[in-house]
């Protein structure tokens, strides 16, 4: 299989510059069109680079990721236009972005969580492993994408609430087959299951929020998906990939477990703070403190590893 040269040097520097510049322009008193152009440029460049690698490698399986990156760029552009008053402010941009990210977790997480679990269990002579992908996995993925897409377009539809509930139940059944309870001895694998669990929790709470708006569960649903599923899955993959590319053993040491613990506490507290009747400010402070602590530990542990660069791959 052919492979494109890795993104490095000036290209990588430009990509990082566009990302950072877009973040800064949001906070500075600059014309909104400048910020929109820079951020859109980042997404166009990222999508183009990724698609080039997919085409060169003839890895058509990853073309949906190219589409997802393009949709994230579109969501960003719509959000800028809504914020500037060019389009009616209906929060379509943020909903589309959340939908794409949850869809990516369902698509990619649905592959790697059972695969990494299966590998780890076999290494430890445990024969009861996750089954290969089958119809249930396809149904769960389809329902997740369809229900979230429906929520993006029709956030108050009872039919969307039903689809969200079905998607949540399907992903619960899917996750239950992946033997997550057997991986408690290895945090690097266990955290993948915890992160993926944020998807059905978020879908079910979102279904309740759409079905009964008076319950006020919108915020809890968004934080279950955002601070829970998305953040935890991103950090789970970042830690695993950093260890692997640095030639270190694929094991969660004490600092890594602290990272996972802090971010899990942050997600639970933030979701809890959004539930009506709970102590909002104490939970918010707990969440913020745990969030900062988790990423400070990440910076201290994995920043050092990344500064050293790649090493031999672990056997």
Give yes or no for a contact between 100 and 71, defined as CB atoms under 8 angstroms apart: yes
Report the alpha-carbon distance of residue 103 to residue 39 in Å, rounded: 22
**At 93, is the secondary structure helix, strand, or coil?**
helix
Burial of 235 (0-12, 13-18, 19+ CB in 10 A): buried
- Assign 313 a pLDDT band (cuts: 50, 70, 90): low
Determine the pLDDT at residue 260.
Answer: 99
CA 177 from chain centre, in angstroms, equals: 21
Q: What is the pLDDT of residues 122-170, one digit of tens each?
A: 999 998 999 999 999 999 999 999 999 999 999 999 999 999 999 999 9
Report the alpha-carbon distance of residue 100 to residue 72 in Å, rounded: 7
User: What tokens does 144 get?
Assistant: 């997740």
Q: Is the pLDDT of residue 111 over 60?
A: yes
Running DSSP on this structure, what letter comes out for residue 58?
T
Report the alpha-carbon distance of residue 155 to residue 222 in Å, rounded: 13
- What lies within 8 Å, CB to CB, of 243 at 6+ separation is 188, 249, 250, 251, 305, 314
Q: What is the pLDDT of residues 4-42, one digit of tens each?
A: 788 889 999 999 999 999 999 988 998 999 999 999 999
Q: Is the pLDDT of residue 268 over 70?
A: yes
Burial of 139 (0-12, 13-18, 19+ CB in 10 A): middle
Determine the pLDDT at residue 4.
Answer: 73
What size, in residues, is the chain?
Answer: 315
Q: What is the pLDDT of residues 217-258, one digit of tens each?
A: 999 999 999 999 999 999 999 999 999 999 999 999 999 999
Q: What is the pLDDT of residues 72-105, one digit of tens each?
A: 999 999 999 999 999 999 999 999 999 999 999 9
> What's the whole-model pTM score?
0.94
């Amino acid at each position: 299989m052919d492979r494109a040269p890795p993104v490095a040097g000036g290209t990588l520097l430009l990509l990082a510059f566009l990302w950072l510049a877009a973040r800064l322009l949001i906070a500075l008193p600059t014309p909104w069109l400048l910020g929109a152009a820079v951020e859109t440029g980042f997404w166009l460049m990222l999508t183009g680079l990724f698609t080039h690698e997919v085409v060169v490698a003839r890895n058509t399986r990853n073309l949906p990721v190219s589409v997802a990156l393009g949709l994230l760029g579109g969501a960003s552009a719509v959000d800028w236009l809504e914020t500037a008053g060019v389009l009616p402010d209906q929060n379509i941009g943020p909903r589309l972005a959340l939908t794409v990210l949850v869809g990516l977790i369902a698509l990619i997480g649905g592959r790697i969580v059972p695969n990494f679990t299966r590998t780890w269990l076999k290494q430890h002579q445990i024969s009861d492993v996750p089954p290969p992908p089958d119809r249930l996995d396809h149904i769960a993925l389809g329902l997740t994408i369809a229900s979230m897409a429906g929520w993006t377009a029709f956030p108050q539809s009872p039919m969307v609430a039903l689809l969200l509930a079905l998607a949540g139940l399907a992903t619960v059944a899917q996750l239950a087959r992946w033997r997550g309870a057997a991986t408690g001895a290895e945090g690097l694998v266990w955290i993948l299951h915890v992160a993926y669990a944020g998807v059905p929790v978020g879908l079910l709470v979102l279904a309740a929020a759409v079905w009964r708006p008076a319950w006020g569960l919108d915020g809890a649903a968004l934080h279950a998906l955002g601070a829970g599923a998305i953040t935890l899955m991103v950090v789970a993959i970042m830690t695993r990939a950093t260890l692997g590319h640095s030639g270190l053993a694929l094991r969660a040491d004490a600092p890594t477990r602290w990272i996972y613990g802090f971010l899990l506490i942050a997600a639970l507290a933030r979701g809890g703070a959004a539930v009506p009747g709970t102590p909002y400010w104490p939970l918010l402070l707990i969440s913020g403190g745990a969030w900062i602590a988790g990423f400070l530990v990440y910076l201290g542990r994995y920043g050092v590893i990344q500064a050293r660069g790649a090493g031999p791959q672990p056997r």
